[in-house]
Amino acid sequence: MASADDAPILAVRGLTRRFGGVIAVDDCSFALTPHRVWGLIGPNGSGKTTLFNLLSGVLAPNAGQIVFKGQNVAGWPSHRITALGLGRTFQITRLFHGMTVLENMRVAARAADPARVAARADELIEFVGLNALRDEYAGNLSYGQQKLIEFMRILMTEPDVILLDEPFAGVNPVMENKLVDLIHTLLAQGKTFLITDHEMRLVMSLCERVLVLDYGHLIAEGPPAAIQADERVIEAYFGRRRSAAPSPPTPLPGGEGSSSGPLSQGERAGDEGIRGPLSPWERAGGEGASRPPSGSREE
């Protein structure tokens, strides 16, 4: 008999979103079981942020269902989805820079009781060790501190599912470790996470299962070890392997370097110019995550 933890808390069925002639999310289906950390990866422009926007109500889908806690919330406005228990952060923090840390926390609360809101805000600020900055303007914080406060502000909405959009981008190793510790602590408290980030080392170590998008399609799902060995994922990130022996090196403009190995220079370069050899999987994100487009992409 299946346990309650086997039942999906969030299920996506046939989800599609178009922007004119561009299909950003294409007939996407998956299910998230609760009390886990899930990962969402894919090359730049594969549709990850669009998917987050659909799940959180920032965008409405053209087709498909988003079943959260048994209700189809596709097309619901963000505030209704938030009230049901789904919170998300953004790639670029959306704090109110002219308000203090404490004010930013309080304004996000769902509770109507001012005393309860104040107590919860103080609790979370102390939880992340920023009590000394509670009366500081958010705009004066470091970028890592702003990311931390945005994360904590989501907790003011009392979510069961938390979507983290590139939480580790632009933060130093100390703040990175702090965020990882917070995720582990909240996971132990029963939260469910869906994380997208280009820090592949962290995604693969944090997540129990990983979803992979490419050109809006879900091309793979599974545990990190299986995802790293999946030929479809390797091709999405690094290009198709050659079956024949590589051709002789071709001098690059100016006579510097050459193209060799199982991947062509174009396949290695992505759309941002010629790069050096690709890093291992844990460095696959960021710049290495773009490949030459065979069609239009929409992130």
Distance between the two ends of the chain, CA-based, in angstroms? 40
* Domain limits, the chain: 1-85+191-240+256-299
| Degrees, nearest 5: CA angle 10-163-120 | 105
Of 59, 24, 28, the C-alpha closest to 44 is 24
Q: How many CB atoms lie within 10 A of CB 96?
A: 14
Banded model confidence at residue 4, pLDDT cuts 50, 70, 90: low
**Res 281: pLDDT:** 54
Query: Are 124 and 182 within 8 A, CB to CB?
Result: no
Q: What is the pTM of this model?
A: 0.78
Annotate 15-40 with b (16+ C-beta within 10 A) or e (fewer). bbbeeeebbbbbebebebbbbbbbbb
What does the pLDDT look like over 209-239, one tens digit per residue?
Answer: 999 999 999 999 999 999 999 999 999 888 7
Residue type, 5: D
The predicted model gives 109-135 an average pLDDT of: 86
Lowest model confidence (mean pLDDT) among 97-111, 170-184, 249-263: 249-263
The CATH class that applies to domain 1-85+191-240+256-299 reads: alpha beta
- Answer whether residue 42 shows pLDDT above 90: yes
